[in-house]
Structure 1
């Protein structure tokens, strides 16, 4: 059971006994005024390492703890300067020169300097993980002075500034002091903060919660209306999050179910949010394994999925169909491109043409049941059954899924993957999934798709400085994708959440989906 509270009373603890969620030891605390924000999520970040902000669970705390050279204005895709005071681009587009602001300091009081930017770039290029997937054109960085640093590229890259909104600068001196056996601080950064963001880390309890509080010397400054302290707690059961919000034990909760959203929509004192995102759901097909080596089988399974049913019935309209393979708000997306379609007649023709007989094939599919992905599996299983193909469930967590796809021979036949792009640039969606360099080693190419023609087109598009040329190349990428279908493109997410009415200033940038940027918020 939940400890009973009067609506709106802020309490220091949330007790959930009946469903075995225990956040704090002891019995329910007495009613007291609560001056801090409580956010309930379904998962805690596996690490606080800013390099891992490719994962929205990591970007959530990191956007509050760290600063980037440039950042999106909350609620928009408009870029503004953050740690950078100014920047220039060389005539050939291969060098970006940044001048850092003079008043930015890390949480230990150390000034942010060019050496910290270079260290963070070098660390990313050495580890080749996380946000590196969006910054592969970066070749290095050069210190030009205490506050002056250059970032160099192999080729011009139009998406650099957008990708840099996920590249957070770490305190080089602090991280170096905590390196262990050459790990560049990965172990220490799992649970420690080396940032210069508006909030500093107070505590981190894996799989339970983390707490942040205002950093007084933040370079963005502080007005009268801000959150002083916030606790992010994990409660996997959506029903429990819903009760906590109703009881006033939480201020903001993440939702995955349209049913829960609709149930809360009419509640007094509660506001529901439907945030547009660039997040796309894909189904990866292991292109190294029979019968999925055959493009006809992959295309047939893509046609067997009921996309319209996903949007209209499962999500009650709280999802969108993409334009071709790109989200409707993405660069180079065009309404002339048809959305993915459900066509069992064509799917059965392709299966017969490929020589697959009903009952002969059984495929495994990885998905994350704890994050609400079970219905996606059910829709795919039902569609495959119409083709005489049996699909069996492999319900695993995200980290295990990434490990699962680290080698083609150890991975499942199929699997879900959400892509949390740092901006609307087509590169972030197409390159990170379909380029051969992104297969294995934590990359997003779960399909193990390798095609030299695709690689060449993607490399050329990334370096194209003119939009018309770039989009023309991405049209060719899209055509090749739909012909070979390494991934089925399903839907674009609408971010669902609910909050108490006295929480103000909540907004989400498209480049930081499913994150709670505390700085613009306040409690009224």
Structure 2
């Protein structure tokens, strides 16, 4: 089977027509990219084809708004320190070494001989520019840098970052800040926008692969960066083609037939088909993810704790585990996944108790009511969870309307409790390896209305526990503060903690070196580590 860009595009066009999905736009330099990459994409073995459920809204490393964006951005742009694949550990990357003299000061010595895709050199100026650029945006990345007081070039290859307050977990944040070419950005700025418009659909990082072409809602391609500082071997991938396939069942069929090499969706069905295919490896790991429905605590009826408690007791958690995830999931004990070392094991698992739920609804005085839950398109598991909850809530006098919508629309409506629905779905994987940040990002009052505190949850006692856990370098103290924070979230029913699904991923087994990564959700692939087997 010949897998080249022309065939991939044609296939997606046909698939798109069948699914009534029209293309929204086209890359201006697509023809040039196609021409330049003819040799690479004509080699089947060196072309890796992936299926993705949604077109990334942005390739910009410091303007990401969804998990799909990370698939390309993490490949094109690299941080000072990097996550070791398959773990939450960190290792030096663009920084060859670093020092942390105190919890407010981080000093990075940069690696020599690293180039950006435009041919310019990595230096301290580029790092300072990238961090200043990140701090200029309001996005999910801005939450990682808003505690920075200053970023300075101590010399040409040394950067010092000072924080406003102690943060013992700041290195985990550093692993998420991709470094971009300042020369390239400045050449492509428009009205002082830090080149945001241009970066949305182009790339210029130090990463092993860079964006070479795309067609909206159909595909995008990345080609290997010949001058990548890590060097190249003959058995590595030259070209990455990512096809946008919004139907999960179609993705699975394409993997099974060999049309694609990797799925980037939660696999909850047809596992038997994939496991029976001798050309496919199906991998399973316990995850650092909790799927939740956020309660809009600023809007009736969920401004009432008794109603939140009733819904929490009404949910059929075992039904979700067995029917949505085929048993490959864990019923959560609060929000923090049990795989985190800092999880408080004394918290009992969520459990259904419809009779108690009915009693609490009666005590609340709310009576029968209508509410809605908004889900992200392309997330079949969210739809199934909502359908189970819909049946459960009918038992306690609550009518649930289910609405599927684009991710960006969900982000926009959840910027305010007035425009947000009563419930919103979030499949919350761990963004960083810092368990404190995992809790903080979703429930600290400083993130209310931002990604991802869509509960608009504001509790000073919770904030205090998280702030103290952030600042301390004493592990015992940190654990005590985290236990307090976890129990507050359970007591307040800050969200509906539904399930912690296992990470189940499938890949064509002619490619070696892929590891399930517990961070960045199920989209994270270190393509550079993948080699072509015998």
TM-score (norm 2): 0.90
Structure 1: 5+ residue runs without aligned partners? 26-31
Mark the CA change 1:66 to 1:468 in structure 2 (over 3 Å): closer, same or farther: same
The residue number in structure 2 matching 1:164 is 174
How far does residue 53 in structure 1 lie from its aligned partner after superposition? 4.3
The residue number in structure 1 matching 2:63 is 52
Distance 1:412 1:310 in 2: 22
The residue number in structure 2 matching 1:399 is 408
The residue number in structure 2 matching 1:28 is none
Match of 1:74, SS state, is coil
Distance 1:224 1:78 in 2: 29
Match for 1:505 among 485, 509, 513? 513
Q: Does 1:228 align with 2:238?
A: yes
Structure 2: 5+ residue runs without aligned partners? 27-41
Distance 1:285 1:182 in 2: 38
Q: 1:236, 1:370 within 8 Å by CA — same for their partners in 2?
A: yes
How far does residue 339 in structure 1 lie from its aligned partner after superposition? 1.9
Q: Deviations over 1:112-163 (max 9, x none)?
A: 1111211122122221322222444322311111111111112221221122
Matches within 5 A, 1:190-201: 190-201=200-211
Matches within 5 A, 1:68-79: 68-79=79-90
Match of 1:259, SS state, is coil
Q: 1:329, 1:424 within 8 Å by CA — same for their partners in 2?
A: no
Match of 1:370, SS state, is coil
Q: Does 1:89 align with 2:100?
A: yes
Match of 2:417, SS state, is coil
Match for 2:427 among 400, 418, 422? 418
Structure number with the higher helix fraction is: 2
Match for 1:130 among 134, 140, 165? 140
Match for 2:53 among 42, 49, 54? 42
Distance 2:507 2:140 in 1: 30
Distance 1:224 1:323 in 2: 47
Q: 1:319, 1:491 within 8 Å by CA — same for their partners in 2?
A: yes
The residue number in structure 2 matching 1:246 is 256
CA RMSD in angstroms, aligned pairs only: 2.1
Distance 1:386 1:330 in 2: 34
Mark the CA change 1:11 to 1:109 in structure 2 (over 3 Å): closer, same or farther: closer
Distance 2:108 2:183 in 1: 20
Distance 1:53 1:517 in 2: 18
Match for 1:443 among 451, 456, 459? 451
Matches within 5 A, 1:334-349: 334-349=344-359
Match for 2:317 among 302, 307, 315? 307
How far does residue 176 in structure 1 lie from its aligned partner after superposition? 2.3
How far does residue 78 in structure 1 lie from its aligned partner after superposition? 2.4
Q: 1:211, 1:232 within 8 Å by CA — same for their partners in 2?
A: yes
Q: 1:287, 1:447 within 8 Å by CA — same for their partners in 2?
A: yes
Q: 1:423, 1:510 within 8 Å by CA — same for their partners in 2?
A: no
Mark the CA change 1:349 to 1:424 in structure 2 (over 3 Å): closer, same or farther: farther
Q: Deviations over 1:38-79 (max 9, x none)?
A: 111111211101113463211111121111101112222221
Match of 1:447, SS state, is coil
Mark the CA change 1:207 to 1:140 in structure 2 (over 3 Å): closer, same or farther: farther
Q: 1:277, 1:495 within 8 Å by CA — same for their partners in 2?
A: yes
Distance 2:167 2:360 in 1: 39
The residue number in structure 2 matching 1:155 is 165
Q: Does 1:274 align with 2:284?
A: yes
Give aligned pairs, total. Answer: 507
The residue number in structure 2 matching 1:484 is 492
The residue number in structure 2 matching 1:29 is none
Match of 1:332, SS state, is coil
TM-score (norm 1): 0.92
Q: 2:344, 2:486 within 8 Å by CA — same for their partners in 1?
A: no
Matches within 5 A, 1:4-43: 10=3, 13-14=7-8, 15=11, 17=14, 20=18, 34-35=44-45, 36-43=47-54
How far does residue 11 in structure 1 lie from its aligned partner after superposition? 5.7
Q: Deviations over 1:459-501 (max 9, x none)?
A: 1221111111111111111222122222122222323332222
Q: Does 1:473 align with 2:491?
A: no
Distance 2:267 2:518 in 1: 21
